[in-house]
Chains A and B, each alone.
Chain A
């Protein structure tokens, strides 16, 4: 088992290193060898898939690495690892024919991200987690900025700034946790619950992992990064990398331990609800399908964060909430990945339009939570896991009743996505049938693994039957309401009176991508300029002080003046001799002793 794990980490690293080595020189043979490696790079994820399916869940340690590295595959990690294997595998297969240039570089970095991402899901102690989390975050920069356009570089810069702050917060939290004497991840929630610095730790964890998970107001990098990155990279970003933030919250927050946390739980839930609303409202004002999907991800991540917040509010529901969060993450990952891949398939594949639209529609329905889809199962499971939890300030409204409104927002967003996609032209330049088929299978069959997963978690989770009327009605009304709203908006937009209304025909110019990011950019720019100016001022002050000291009152003129006058004073010689004589006399008379 340990050997298999070593292989599963080493193989992608080796393939990436091979790609790097083959890129260094020039020459026909090298380029062709590199293309071959890039074509089959997706095979590198297979060892991980195998070991994740077969592993027994025991702790495996490497004592000589860093401060002692340890991994363990538990029931929270396993589904996510398998999700990563599927999405990264398809992404690696999609890259060689994608629109972006330099597929070799993209594949290399995707492989590295894959290793780090899987590491996040299996890390068993604090240092290991921080290692892979930081690695994944900074490698993410490489895939966001891959196309090197101006917008990609801007997205990359915003991503980096947010990541640095997130990493620092996580580091601070981890140091505080480590000082409690805990290293194993399984012991952390109890230690945090019992710690004196609990509030500080929880705050830092929420900030640090919130950046990754797209929690408002730390979500600003998401809508910039997704359109800038190539489609396979966006798929992986939304599908798997955001889940790293979720697993951070799941592993390290004191869920189910000790007393409830009304403050933090309430905060998380509020942020999640606001995020869901914001995502829907701002997302429909955009035109670029990737941006719309990005805002959809923000909303969906908010949904999962709401589950976590509820677990903080009511520790009794924690096991069910955690399980529901995992199920929802897997469902969202599979479907969102499929939707992002579908953009590339639409653009490049030579398959007929109906063959692309059908899986796309099925996936979209899944996201909205229509019956018979993965989303249906995930949303039902989540709703049931919440029980009667309510917001601290509003005991009347049960959280479980607020969640379906997320589905309304998702449906509206997906309707907008459909419109945006329909306006997009199909270039049909390249496309391998095999990878397109793999994508279609992913989109159509996403419900199966999710249902299997949900039933695997059975004790804390109540899984819906496929055709039981109660759940179907419960899940259908938000979806139908969303469709109704979308149709109403479309009908309104067609009326001649509103032909030119910007609000009804949004082209992404009402709210900029990343909404608040413009303010943040200005603030950061201002701060940087201020700090640089302060630094310059410090330097100038120091130099001025040194100059003042150097040019200060010099005794030299006085001394030279005195010297000159003494030197030319005729009497000075005689005085010197007299003084000498006096001293000698004194010495002789005083007896010379003592």
Chain B
């Protein structure tokens, strides 16, 4: 197995792990972490693809990974705020029901 294939399979594996966890886990923060793991897997995949040719590595997937890192940071920030808000609302709902 070449390095390229190793990276690709690893990336795919981590991606599937992350996505599965995002869909199946109940807790919101854990889901967020799983999403980050999935994005890590995607980035690994993209970086592997960047190296697919013979000569210089393709800069476009690398640029996409950089963009992805920034996007994931922003998304994680918003998601944390939303998760806190949802939990707050759930607490309020419980209070009302009691």
A594 to B53, CA, bound (A): 8
A594 to B52, CA, bound (A): 8
A593 and B3 contacting across the interface, CB-CB below 8 Å = yes
Q: Does A554 contact B (CB under 8 A)?
A: yes
Q: Does B24 contact A (CB under 8 A)?
A: yes
CB distance from A556 to the nearest CB of B (A): 6
Report the interface size class on chain B: under 10
Q: Does B4 contact A (CB under 8 A)?
A: yes
A555 and B2 contacting across the interface, CB-CB below 8 Å = no
A593 to B4, CA, bound (A): 8
Q: Does A519 contact B (CB under 8 A)?
A: no
Specify the chain B residue showing the minimal Cβ separation from A594. B2
A556 and B24 contacting across the interface, CB-CB below 8 Å = yes
Contacts between the two chains (Cβ within 8 Å), count: 19
B window 3-45: CB within 8 A of A: 3-4, 6, 20-21, 24-25
CB distance from A38 to the nearest CB of B (A): 63
Residues of B within 8 A of A590 (CB): 2-3
A594 and B4 contacting across the interface, CB-CB below 8 Å = yes
Residues of A within 8 A of B25 (CB): 556
Q: A559, A592, A593, A594: which contacts B24 (Cβ < 8 A)?
A: A559
Residues of B within 8 A of A554 (CB): 24
CB distance from B7 to the nearest CB of A (A): 9
Q: B3, B20, B21, B24: which contacts A587 (Cβ < 8 A)?
A: B3
A window 273-332: CB within 8 A of B: none
Residues of A within 8 A of B6 (CB): 583, 586-587
Residues of A within 8 A of B4 (CB): 594
Specify the chain B residue showing the minimal Cβ separation from A590. B3
Residues of A within 8 A of B3 (CB): 587, 590, 592-594
CB distance from A473 to the nearest CB of B (A): 96
Residues of B within 8 A of A587 (CB): 3, 6
A window 489-534: CB within 8 A of B: none
Specify the chain B residue showing the minimal Cβ separation from A583. B6
Specify the chain B residue showing the minimal Cβ separation from A592. B3
A window 340-386: CB within 8 A of B: none
A556 to B2, CA, bound (A): 34
Contact pattern, A 559-577, Cβ under 8 Å of B = 1, otherwise 0? 1000000000000000000
A window 435-488: CB within 8 A of B: none
Specify the chain A residue showing the minimal Cβ separation from B7. A587
A559 to B4, CA, bound (A): 29
Residues of B within 8 A of A (CB): 2-4, 6, 20-21, 24-25
Q: Can you list 19 A-B contacts (CB < 8 A)?
A: A554-B24, A555-B20, A555-B24, A556-B24, A556-B25, A559-B21, A559-B24, A583-B6, A586-B6, A587-B3, A587-B6, A590-B2, A590-B3, A592-B3, A593-B2, A593-B3, A594-B2, A594-B3, A594-B4
Known: A556-B25, A559-B24, A590-B3. 9 other contacts (CB 8 A): A554-B24, A555-B20, A555-B24, A559-B21, A592-B3, A593-B2, A594-B2, A594-B3, A594-B4
